[in-house]
Structure 1
Amino acid sequence: MSDLLFTLHCAVRDTEAVLGAIRTVSPAPIHIRAESVRGQDYGDAGTAEKVSGELKRTTLELIFGADRMPDLLQAVEEARRDLPVRWRTTCLLDHGRIA
Structure 2
Amino acid sequence: MPDLLFTLHCATRDTELLVDAIRAVSPTPIHVRGEAVRGRDFGDAGTAERVSGELKRSTLELIVSADAVPDLLRTVKDARRDLPVRWRTTPLLDHGRIA
Over the residues paired in the alignment, what is the CA RMSD in angstroms?
Answer: 0.6
Q: Work out the CA distance in 2 between the residues paired with 1:34 and 1:77.
A: 21
Task: Identify unmatched segments of 5+ residues in structure 1.
Answer: none
Q: Name the SS of the counterpart of 1:16 in structure 2.
A: helix
Displacement, 1:66?
Answer: 0.5
- The amino acid across from 2:43 in the alignment is G
Normalised TM-score (structure 2): 0.97
2:38 aligned partner:
38
Task: Identify unmatched segments of 5+ residues in structure 2.
Answer: none
Normalised TM-score (structure 1): 0.97
Question: Aligned residue pairs: how many?
Answer: 99
Runs of 4+ in structure 1 off by over 4 angstroms are none
Q: Deviations over 1:66-95 (max 9, x none)?
A: 111000000000111000000000001111
1:70 aligned partner:
70
Q: Work out the CA distance in 2 between the residues paired with 1:2 and 1:69.
A: 13
1:91 aligned partner:
91
Percent of residue pairs identical = 76
- The amino acid across from 2:25 in the alignment is V
